[in-house]
């Protein structure tokens, strides 16, 4: 969606397949979060720093409607003071220009 910028060079079918694959991977996280707020039962850890980055990035390409635990997890992580502090200041160029990149019709 963002690496190959020219629409003519992107395959909507491949993008749809990759989004589905990403959704399947997020289902593993959904299951892991059953009954707990963070990846480890002991609470927030370095695992959440790594997983949080991956999940937050994935949420730009996959809707989290069917993954309520993952959606809540992202909100919890984004609510942490360190997360907010780590965000670039307003006006600074960002890799992701949009909050969500829908898959074009295949």
DSSP 63-96: --TT-HHHHHHHHHHHTSHHHHHHSPPTTS--S-
pLDDT at position 9 over 80? no
Note the pLDDT of residue 4: 53
Q: Tens digit of pLDDT for each residue in 13-51? A: 888 999 999 999 999 999 999 999 999 999 999 999 999
pLDDT at position 10 over 90? no
pLDDT > 90 in the chain, percent: 66
Q: What is the pTM of this model?
A: 0.86
d(CA 102, CA 71): 17
CA diameter of the chain: 48
Note the pLDDT of residue 106: 59
């Amino acid at each position: 969606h963002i690496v190959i910028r020219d629409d003519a060079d992107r395959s909507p079918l491949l993008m749809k397949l990759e989004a589905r694959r990403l959704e399947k991977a997020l289902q593993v996280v959904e299951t892991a979060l059953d009954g707990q707020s963070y990846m480890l039962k002991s609470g927030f850890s370095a695992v959440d720093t790594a997983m949080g980055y991956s999940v937050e990035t994935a949420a730009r390409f996959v809707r989290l409607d069917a993954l309520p635990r993952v959606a809540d997890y992202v909100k919890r992580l984004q609510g942490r003071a360190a997360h907010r502090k780590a965000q670039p200041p307003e006006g600074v160029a960002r890799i992701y220009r949009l909050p969500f990149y829908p898959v074009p019709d295949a």
